[in-house]
Amino acid sequence: MPVTSEYYRPDLAYVHDQSYTDLARSAALHLSDLLKDRNNSGDLIVDLGSGSGVLAKALGEQNFKVIGIDYSPDMVKLAEGNAPDAEFIVASFLDYALPRCAAVTAIGEVLNYRFDKKHNFETLVDLFRKVYEQLEHGGIFLFDLIEPGIEGIMTESNKIVEGDDWTMFLHLFEDWESATLTREITLFRKVGEFYRKSYEEHRVQLLHHHKVQSALEEIGFSVELINQYADLAFRDKHVGFVARKG
């Protein structure tokens, strides 16, 4: 189905590229270390939710081939500039037909995002099966997700984050009954002499790590839970997965 630009439109994509890329850089280091025993020349990595191409650029510099999949056309446009040697496709990760590859990544709680209306736990498990089928022997599925309780004891909070040429107001609401987190994002970005206002609402499905781990293991993965990428530690209720096809 056609993908719209409802999420991560130009201004939020810009802010993410400017200020929220440390996790992707650290994940690239972590993955390259996991794959260090392979002859990686030309190995293909598929990056689901590839954002502005930071992970693709880092892995490309280590001779990996990278295909990035992202729901946002504006993110893909940035990625094509940041990592011109990689290939980027605007698509839902639930629809994309995975090719044979050495690793699949989904960095920055990508699998939690409910941008695609088909997103639910069953469709995620279907994705896990597709990943397993298309990974080479010894291949790795590296991803992270956030769990219920990510906002602590507060069900609702407000935050202000600022950069040199932007200010972002966040209203966060965690619904414990449905295990969802809603992020209302009001952004003011300086364009020329004036500030431009934009608004996005992101819904995130919070997932228990043990449920995800069980689903992966039933498919055939061996699973290691991690709490950091390289030297970048996660916050509480943010969990990483190294799922291997043995």
Q: Quick one: which of 115, 149, 135 has its CA closest to 1?
A: 115
Q: Is 41 helix (H, G, I), strand (E, B) or coil?
A: coil
Please give the C-alpha separations between residue 212 and each of 111, 117, 207, in angstroms, as whole numbers: 11, 20, 7
How many Cα atoms are found within 13 Å in the side-chain-facing hemisphere of 75?
A: 31
Distance of alpha carbon 222 from alpha carbon 200, whole angstroms: 37
Q: Quick: pLDDT tens for 101-160.
A: 999 999 999 999 999 999 999 999 999 999 999 999 999 999 999 999 999 888 999 999
- Name the average pLDDT for the chain: 95
68 neighbors 88 (Cβ within 8 angstroms): yes
Tell me the pLDDT tens digit for each residue of 23-81.
999 999 999 999 987 766 679 999 999 999 999 999 999 999 999 999 999 999 999 99
- Determine the pLDDT at residue 2: 43
Instruction: Catalogue the long-range contacts made by 175-178 (C-beta closer than 8 Å, 24 or more residues apart).
Output: 176/148
Q: State the sign of the Cα–Cα–Cα–Cα dihedral 89, 94, 97, 99.
A: positive
| Residue 1 reports pLDDT greater than 60 | no
3-state SS, residue 138? strand
